[in-house]
A and B are shown apart, each in its own frame.
Chain A
Amino acid sequence: MEKYQPLQCRVQGKPSLVIEDQNTVQEFWRKLKDLYHSSTAAGDYAAQYWANVAVNSDHPAAPLAHIPGVFAALWTPDVAPKTAITLGTAGYGFIGLPKNIVHFTSVAGANGIRTSGVIRSTKIGLFGPGVYTANVGRPLNLFIPKTSLTPIYLPTPAGTVRIIPKLVYVRWGVHVHKVVK
């Protein structure tokens, strides 16, 4: 019988759950494979159904059927792996963010933050408007302006997204971020 790697489920802050019994692991992979085949077959059937409605129906709103058709097509046997990779990379932006991070600013900006207690959003940001932070400053991190040499160490703002590991994190939006004095 083919030997499978043990399955391990890790949740931050809790002990890992490990399943080593080969029969259980093999059964898990068999069910996952069956689920993949049956769900992508269902996606294929649904995509074809909506395509038929969009093309063959006489109803004036028939073309709107292309909308659910597009979503169904994302989980057909040929497209599903790309869809899974695209959804998986969403974890790149949100999972495992540092608990604390640094906002680099100028001396004037730091004085303003100290006085007002808020960090204002960067309106003209390379990755959109928002509060930009990083774990590495200049000279290594060229995404930071030359004048922004003053670090403000703060808890990572809620909603922060990782753009480039260590170098660029952003909490999108135009509203300010309050810092604890």
Chain B
Amino acid sequence: MSIKQGKILKILAVLWAWFCWIWVACSRDYLWLIVSIIPYFIVNSISFDDELTKK
């Protein structure tokens, strides 16, 4: 996976988490708190090194 693809995945995971948190705030369905971070954890487990882009 390229660094660019990894970054796009990470952005999507962050957007998903925030969408879930807004959903929890509106619906009080707290189960979505757990669902919100699962994609982010998966992305963190994929091996791509975005640190290489840091100058």
Residues of A in contact with B (beta carbons under 8 Å apart):
105-106, 108-109, 112, 120, 124-126, 142-148
Contacts and interface: CB of A to CB of B under 8 A. Distances in A.
Interface in B1-55: 7, 10-11, 13-14, 17, 37, 40-41, 44-52, 54-55
Contacts, number: 43
A106 B51 contact: yes
B42 to A, nearest CB: 9
Contact of B11 (A124, A146, A147): A124
Nearest to B14: A126
Q: At the interface, is chain A mostly helix, strand, loop or mixed?
A: loop
B10 A109 contact: no
6 contacts: A124-B10, A124-B14, A126-B13, A143-B37, A146-B46, A147-B47
A120 B51 CA distance: 10
A120 B55 CA distance: 9
B47 A146 contact: yes
B10 to A, nearest CB: 5
Given A109-B54, A120-B54, A147 B49 contact: yes
A108 B51 contact: yes
Contacts of A148: 51
A144 B44 contact: yes
Given A124-B7, A126-B40, A105 B14 contact: no
A125 B48 CA distance: 16
B54 A145 contact: no
Contacts of B50: 145
A147 B48 contact: yes
